[in-house]
Amino acid sequence: MQTVTVLGATGSIGCNTLDVINRHPEKYRTFAITGNGQLELLMQQAQKCSPRFVVVADEARYKEACTLATEYNITAEILCGAKALEDVSCAAEIDTVMAAIVGAAGLLPTLAAVKAGKKVLLANKEALVMSGALFIDAATQSGAEILPIDSEHNAIFQCLPQGYEYGELEKAGISKILLTGSGGPFRERELSSFNAITIDEASSHPNWSMGRKITIDSATMMNKGLEFIEACWLFGASPDDIQVVVHPQSFIHSMVQYVDGSVIAQLGNPDMRTPIAYGLAYPSRIDAGVKPLDFSDMANFSFETPCFTRYPNLKLAIDACREGQAATTRLNAANEIAVASFLEGKIGFTDIAVVNEETLNKMEPVTVSSIQQILEQDTAARAAADQVIRGKFTC
């Protein structure tokens, strides 16, 4: 039986993880669940999975959480704050950590799990975007097992040859990693109307059910850009080894192309329980509760090359990947500020890319080699993005 901590339990990935775990009580036991804003949902989850600890990220909401825990008859110990998140990620009792906290907030607890040598189901792409080399080095030193949960990276992982050695694409006969993306809700929309895109329009994905921030990132294809960066670190690939392909139907989650002309693809319905179940059970497979594909219902598969005029954030991410760690850390930070500002109605949809690009242009190139330096770059980029927004979009 595996003992699991679920970081970000109230988000889309966290909810789906608990759904899979609850389907297999003989295989998995929940040690801790963590959340931030949705405290009632967190307590409802605790009622069902009976964790030993419930962690609230925001220390200011500790009393509220304790009151709710009493109302819901929760027997778990209630903890709060950043240190508690790290503690339940590296505790000796646990085997597996689902790293599903969205954004930079997930970096330190995920890194704590890696340093402790845990099996880490990585759904927090920002951890690698922000600290790729440090993250991979820590996993190598501790012996942590990193299993990708993003549907695209999980698909690539499944399509790699057994025994694939990190960074050895040529040795494995791989010519290209093909990273697919749906193109979001505005793939066919007139570019001239992008300035009029509303928050509600951008918050509706045609295929996937995700949190608001990730859904906006999908609409701008920044999500694919972050996944591009993450794929380089996960598989030891260079930017030239990866090609982004727009696949609107979202049935093919990604592919690996080999030198003999073969292409191996992983297919499935757009349901995150499939990669979650694969990560939890690897190298075995378990029922995820996902409806199997019915090929008779699938009209066609289509593929396109992404247009950088339509998706400038994708190009920014690929360029930042080529530039190095500081650039990807800054881009992630700027994007979090820009997306939050868009959702607050402070800037328009197309302004997200403007803020990201101007933030990168404002900052001098640097080399980072420690977690402290990475966090400093993250803080500086957030301040720079705020400055761009105040100076350019605030009357």
77 is in an annotated binding site: no
Q: How far apart are CA 240 and CA 232, in angstroms?
A: 10
163 is in an annotated binding site: no
240 is in an annotated binding site: no
Sign of CA dihedral 344, 209, 113, 38: positive
267: closest CA among 281, 279, 253, 288? 253
137 is in an annotated binding site: no
Length of the chain: 395
Beta-bridge partners for 318: none
Residue whose tokens read 């402290």: 372
Give residue 189's identity as a one-letter amino acid code.
Answer: R
Residue whose tokens read 């993880």: 17
152 is in an annotated binding site: yes
Long-range contacts of 269-272 (CB under 8 A, 24+ apart): 269/293, 270/151, 270/207, 270/208, 271/16, 272/12, 272/13, 272/16, 272/149, 272/151, 272/208
247 is in an annotated binding site: no
Whether 355 and 347 have beta carbons less than 8 Å apart is answered as: yes
Q: How far apart are CA 358 and CA 384, in angstroms?
A: 9
386 is in an annotated binding site: no
List CB contacts of 211: < 8 A, sequence separation 6 or more: 11, 12, 102
262 is in an annotated binding site: no
Which tokens in the block code for residue 1? Answer: 């039986």
225 is in an annotated binding site: no
356 is in an annotated binding site: no
204 is in an annotated binding site: no
335 is in an annotated binding site: no
- Binding-site residues for NADPH: 10-13, 124, 126, 211
- Binding-site residues for 1-deoxy-D-xylulose 5-phosphate: 125, 151-152, 182, 205, 218, 223-224, 227
- Binding-site residues: 10-13, 124-126, 150-152, 182, 205, 211, 218, 223-224, 227
- Binding-site residues for Mn(2+): 150, 152, 227
